[in-house]
Amino acid sequence: MPALVVLGAQWGDEGKGKATDQLGTSADYVVKFNGGNNAGHTVVVGGEKFPLHLLPSGILSEGCTPVIGNGVVVDLPVLFQEIEELESRGRSAAGLKISANAHVITPYTRTLDTLSERTLGERKIGTTGRGIGPTYADKISRIGIRIQDLFDESILHQKVASALEQKNRLLISYGEEPFDADDVTAELLSYAERVRPMMCDVTLEINNALDEGKIVLFEGGQATMLDIDHGTYPYVTSSNPTAGGACTGTGVGPTRIDRVIGVAKAYITRVGEGPFPTELFGDEGEWLREAGHEYGVTTGRPRRCGWYDAPIARYASRVNGLTDLVITKLDVLGDLEKIPVCVAYEIEGKRVEEVPASQTDFHHAKPIYEYREGWQSDISQCRTWEELPEAARAYIEYLEEISNCRISVIGVGPEREQSIVRHPLV
Ligand code: GDP
Ligand code: IMO
Ligand code: MG
pLDDT digits (tens, 9 = 90+) for 147-185: 999 999 999 999 999 999 999 999 999 999 999 999 999
114 lies in some domain: yes
Residue 258: pLDDT over 90 = yes
Do 8 and 23 fall within a single domain? yes
The CATH number for 394's domain is: 3.90.170.10
Region 32-41: mean pLDDT is 97
Do 63 and 154 fall within a single domain? no
- Report how far residue 97's alpha carbon sits from residue 308's, in angstroms, rounded to the nearest whole number: 37
Do 161 and 256 fall within a single domain? no
Last residue of a domain, one of 260, 286, 315: 260
Q: Is residue 325 lining ligand 1, measured as CB closer than 6 Å?
A: no
Do 240 and 146 fall within a single domain? no
The CATH number for 92's domain is: 3.40.440.10
The sign of the torsion formed by the CA atoms of 123, 125, 131, 132 equals: negative
pLDDT digits (tens, 9 = 90+) for 42-96: 999 999 999 999 999 999 999 999 999 999 999 999 999 999 999 999 999 999 9
Looking from the CA of 313 toward its CB, the CA atoms found within 13 Å total 31
pLDDT at residue 297, as a whole number: 86
Do 228 and 126 fall within a single domain? no
User: What is the domain count for the chain?
Assistant: 3
The CATH number for 152's domain is: 1.10.300.10
411 lies in some domain: yes
pLDDT at residue 308, as a whole number: 98
pLDDT at residue 205, as a whole number: 98
With a CB cutoff of 8 Å and minimum separation 6, the contacts of 133 are: 113, 116, 125, 127, 237, 238
- Report how far residue 35's alpha carbon sits from residue 219's, in angstroms, rounded to the nearest whole number: 10
CB contact at 8 A, 262 and 279: no
71 lies in some domain: yes
Residue 423: pLDDT over 80 = yes
Range of the domain at 30: 3-99+197-260
pLDDT digits (tens, 9 = 90+) for 102-130: 999 999 999 999 999 999 999 999 999 99
pLDDT digits (tens, 9 = 90+) for 4-27: 999 999 999 999 999 999 999 999
pLDDT at residue 410, as a whole number: 98
Do 152 and 111 fall within a single domain? yes
Do 183 and 216 fall within a single domain? no
SS3 content of the chain, % helix, strand, coil (to 5): 40, 20, 40
Do 278 and 404 fall within a single domain? yes
| Helix pair angle (107-120, 181-189), 10° resolution | 120
pLDDT digits (tens, 9 = 90+) for 296-341: 988 889 999 999 999 999 999 999 999 999 999 999 999 999 999 9
pLDDT digits (tens, 9 = 90+) for 202-250: 999 999 999 999 999 999 999 999 999 999 999 999 999 999 999 999 9
Q: Is residue 262 lining ligand 1, measured as CB closer than 6 Å?
A: no
- Report how far residue 130's alpha carbon sits from residue 298's, in angstroms, rounded to the nearest whole number: 10
Last residue of a domain, one of 239, 260, 281: 260
Residue 1: pLDDT over 70 = no
Q: How far is residue 316 CA from its own chain's centroid?
A: 14
Do 170 and 219 fall within a single domain? no
Please choose, from the candidates 222, 174, 184, the residue with its C-alpha nearest in 3D space to the C-alpha of residue 13: 222
pLDDT at residue 366, as a whole number: 98
Do 185 and 243 fall within a single domain? no
For 218-256, letters b (16+ CB in 10 Å) and e give: bbbbbbbbbbbebbbeebbbbbbbbbbbbbbbbbbeeee
How would you classify the pairing of strands 407-411 and 419-421?
A: antiparallel
123 lies in some domain: yes
Q: Say whether the peptide bond before residue 356 is cis (omega within 30 degrees of 0).
A: no
Q: Which ligand 2 atom minimizes the distance to the CA of 40?
A: 9
- Report how far residue 424's alpha carbon sits from residue 408's, in angstroms, rounded to the nearest whole number: 7
Do 302 and 401 fall within a single domain? yes
426 lies in some domain: no
Residue 192: pLDDT over 70 = yes
Residue 139: pLDDT over 70 = yes
Q: Is residue 249 lining ligand 1, measured as CB closer than 6 Å?
A: no
CB contact at 8 A, 259 and 2: yes
- Report how far residue 90's alpha carbon sits from residue 96's, in angstroms, rounded to the nearest whole number: 16
Please choose, from the candidates 3, 74, 2, 10, the residue with its C-alpha nearest in 3D space to the C-alpha of residue 326: 10
159: three-class secondary structure by DSSP: helix
Q: Which ligand 2 atom minimizes the distance to the CA of 298?
A: 9
**Residues near ligand 3 ion, CB 5 Å cutoff:** 13, 40
Do 328 and 219 fall within a single domain? no
pLDDT digits (tens, 9 = 90+) for 345-397: 999 999 999 999 999 999 999 999 999 999 999 999 999 999 999 999 999 99
Facing residues of 8 across strands? 263
Residues carrying an active site annotation? 13, 41
Looking from the CA of 42 toward its CB, the CA atoms found within 13 Å total 16
Region 37-45: mean pLDDT is 95
Last residue of a domain, one of 260, 290, 314: 260
CB contact at 8 A, 58 and 217: yes
Q: Which ligand 1 atom minimizes the distance to the CA of 18?
A: 19
Hey, which of 117, 127, 305 would you mutate to test ligand 2's pocket, going by the most ligand atoms within 8 Å of its Cβ? 127
